[in-house]
Amino acid sequence: MTKDCIAIDVGGTTISGGYYPSNTTRCLSQKSMPTEPGKEGVSNIMTQLIKDLSMSKKGSELVLAIGFPGNFSQETDYVVAPGSLENLSTIPGDWEGVNLKDYCEEIVAAIFSSDPPRLAVLVNDAIAQFVGAFYDAISTGYIPNHGDKYAFLGMGTGLGGGVGTAMLEKKDGTETMRLNLHTDGHLFDILFPDHEIAEQKLSGPSLSKRLTCELNMIHAIDELSVSQKKNLQEYIADLTYVMQVIHDGTLQKRSEWTPEETRSVKGTRHFFLGGGVGQKGVFSQYIIDELQLNWNSSQSLSIIPVENSKIAALNGLCYLSRKGDL
């Protein structure tokens, strides 16, 4: 028996929440608010969203699933790594050393005077988007093959990432396709030959800077000037490089992976593109077409745009909270 779930996706520009009744992965109510920078500001927005969404509770037991940006993991006790979450504060190092599990549980305890809901999931927001995009694609008819390797690249405020393998599981005569996640999922610090990292070249703000305009101002490729088109081609070449080194298993990172972790992503040829780059319609399709032309492998390239990263993240958090029942 699954439980009601409140999913909270913390982003650099927006914090979103969704309420999922038990026994369904469909969002009953959803709300978003602009992100307020700093630990107190983020806490205030999360508090408001959880309060508002908990009004939908129908008496079932409630759990929380939260996606947070930045470099942290269960293995490091959810402590934020140095240099991480800089886009969530105006004060350098504001989040450094913060235990996000304690931080989130303190917010919950302050809201509910008794019987606070359990924090069932706390993951990187890109992993939440990756999981949501994968299962949402299946729900609309997409059919992965057993053993296919996938990667997620979320070109939002930063560069989120995730890698995993589609695995067909059989239980009680029922076949279920699952996404088995590999490594810590961090692809933002893949190194380029010039020693810059992928996030510096591929984030949403980086693309806006190259095009000298905000992405929401672009509706068609024909609107771009000659110099903007040239800069866009350079961006696509850099994106191709990242996808290629993941596929070839030749990536180098500022934070090193073990040889086993690097081998686990070799052969990846299915990519979900999220963030602003993945939800721009004709503009996104142009980038996908150019990536296909640039691809250099005997294995074909598969690219799935994530048309609504917020919804994908919230759905992914719900899926993760019910991973035994997907």
pLDDT digits (tens, 9 = 90+) for 247-264: 999 999 998 888 999 999
pLDDT value, residue 256: 80
pLDDT band at 27 (very low <50, low <70, confident <90, very high): very high
Top-confidence residue, 61 or 35: 35
| pTM metric for this prediction | 0.92
The mean pLDDT of 277-300, rounded to a whole number, is 89
Nearest alpha-carbon partner for 287 in 229, 212, 245, 242: 229
Q: Over 50: is that where the pLDDT of 96 sits?
A: yes
Instruction: Find, among 54, 57, 95, the residue nearest to 78 by Cα.
Output: 95
The whole-number pLDDT of residue 25 equals 85
Mean pLDDT of 209-213: 91
User: Matching CATH topology for 4-124 and 128-310?
Assistant: yes
For the chain, give the mean pLDDT: 91
Give the strand order in the sheet containing 118-124.
29-34, 14-20, 4-10, 62-68, 118-124
Q: Say what the pLDDT of residue 1 is.
A: 61
Per-residue pLDDT band at 325 (split at 50, 70, 90): very low
Provide mean pLDDT across the span 272-280: 85
Separation in Å, CA 172 to CA 113, 135, 143, 168, 324: 42, 21, 21, 13, 14
Task: Domain 4-124: give its CATH code.
Answer: 3.30.420.40
CA distances from 48 to 3, 69, 108, 265 (A): 21, 19, 11, 39
Residue ranges of domains in the chain: 4-124, 128-310
pLDDT of residue 249: 95
- Give yes or no for residue 2 having a pLDDT over 80: no
Round to whole Å and give the CA distance between 173 and 246. Answer: 35
H-state helical runs in the chain: 39-54, 100-111, 125-139, 198-202, 204-211, 226-248, 259-265, 282-294, 309-321
Q: Measured in whole angstroms, how far is the alpha carbon of residue 168 from the centre of its chain?
A: 23
* Topology classification of domain 128-310: Nucleotidyltransferase; domain 5 (3.30.420)
pLDDT tens string 75-95: 778 999 888 888 898 888 899
Tell me the percentage of the chain whose pLDDT exceeds 90. Answer: 69
Asked if the model's pLDDT at residue 208 lies above 70, the reply is yes
DSSP-derived 3-state class of residue 128? helix
Maximal C-alpha separation, the chain: 61
Quote the tokens at residue 34: 């602009």
The arithmetic mean of pLDDT across residues 144-156, rounded, is: 95
Give the pLDDT band (50/70/90) at residue 207.
Answer: very high
